[in-house]
Structure 1
Amino acid sequence: MRYVRGWLGAAAAALLALGFAGAARADDPAFVALSAGYFDTIDTDHDAFEGRIEYRHDKKFWIFKPFAGLMGTSDTTIHAFAGVLVDIYFGRRWVLTPSFAPGYYYEGDGKDIGGPIEFRSQIELSYRFDDRSRLGLSFNHISNAGIYDRNPGTETVAITYAIPLGRGK
């Protein structure tokens, strides 16, 4: 488990460093992203269906774009979050999007991952269509970074469809 978490963080940092030249293009609009996935994919002791909606802003602050979202599972777990993302382009069609977001986590009947303050790190690879919509696959990790005594974390694999709002700049 620690190996997966460490690998995900190192990969995201390396891709960010390598991708500065291909960071967020100014012509992309804001997006509403809808995701469906499999919650707790590695431990599977509380696996469930996950649905997620995000608003991804078109404004950039240096290389970062703000975003906010709400995730819910079939076990009534909820995670509301807001953070930053970076779009790294590989040509015109492929977009790699690492993101980080702190948030409020409500366990419901799902997995206890330590407490209400949790952090989500995610990496998503998407195909960008002519209308700027995107279809992608993401992997994320949610944990509390050790601020509570209990920190098992959880992972999700999801498919995401990002719908552009407007035509961009």
Structure 2
Amino acid sequence: MSRISVLSFAVLLFVFVTPTRAEDAPEFVLSGGAFEAFATQRSAEFGLAYRFSPRKWSLIPEIGLSANSDGGYWAHLGLRYDLQLNQKWLITPQLALVGYENGGGEDLGSGLLFRSGIELGYRLTSGSKLAITLYHLSNAGLSGNNPGSESVILSYSFTR
């Protein structure tokens, strides 16, 4: 990952991460699913993430690490926003910066990528949630090679 990518991650982390409020507990996230979900050559994807307490405008900062069974791995730093449908169901749009290394997998054209996605979640208890997420990784034209990739993942999040 380049110095610019690392610096960008650090600046975003500094701007959006402040001490948590007691009523908004941070979450730990475990996920698994399909990388290149709509391609003929799919691979398994696994991830870990940490969601900070909601911040200004109810935005939720998230930092995470993921890998696929082709040897690719990436880190992301992003923002999410929970839209409550009712007491149990919510929809969460999300955007993130991604530092990516393809390993033996798909060359996405750049080490700096952007992740955009949508999640449908179901609250199991006040401190846990099960969700399905569809997200797209792309270098947004930073490179002549920009095939993009879609992932479909199932995640379980819980508070400490």
Range class of TM-score, shorter chain: 0.7 to 0.9
Work out the percentage of aligned pairs sharing the same amino acid.
Answer: 35
**1:90-109 superposed matches below 5 A:** 90-109=85-104
1:67 aligned residue:
62
What is the TM-score when the length of structure 1 is the normalising length? 0.78
Give the Å deviation of 1:163. Answer: 1.0
- Kept in 2, the 8 Å contact 1:35–1:53? The answer is yes
Aligned residues between the structures: 139
* Contiguous gaps of at least 5 residues in structure 1: 1-25
1:124 aligned residue:
119
1:135 aligned residue:
130
> SS of the counterpart of 2:95?
strand
Deviations 1:114-160 (A, max 9, x none): 01001111111111022320001110100001111100000011110
**1:11-160 superposed matches below 5 A:** 27-45=23-41, 47-160=42-155
- Kept in 2, the 8 Å contact 1:87–1:95? The answer is yes
> Given residue 30 of structure 1, which amino acid in structure 2 is its aligned partner?
P
CA distance, structure 1, for counterparts of residue 98 and residue 110 of structure 2: 11
CA distance, structure 1, for counterparts of residue 159 and residue 86 of structure 2: 19
> Given residue 35 of structure 2, which amino acid in structure 1 is its aligned partner?
F
CA distance, structure 2, for counterparts of residue 55 and residue 77 of structure 1: 20
What is the TM-score when the length of structure 2 is the normalising length? 0.82
CA distance, structure 2, for counterparts of residue 71 and residue 95 of structure 1: 23
> SS of the counterpart of 1:62?
helix
Give the Å deviation of 1:103. Answer: 1.5
Deviations 1:82-127 (A, max 9, x none): 0110011111101111111011100100000101001111111111
- Kept in 2, the 8 Å contact 1:28–1:132? The answer is no
CA distance, structure 2, for counterparts of residue 60 and residue 50 of structure 1: 29
- Kept in 1, the 8 Å contact 2:24–2:54? The answer is no
* Contiguous gaps of at least 5 residues in structure 2: 1-21
> SS of the counterpart of 2:58?
coil
CA distance, structure 2, for counterparts of residue 55 and residue 81 of structure 1: 11
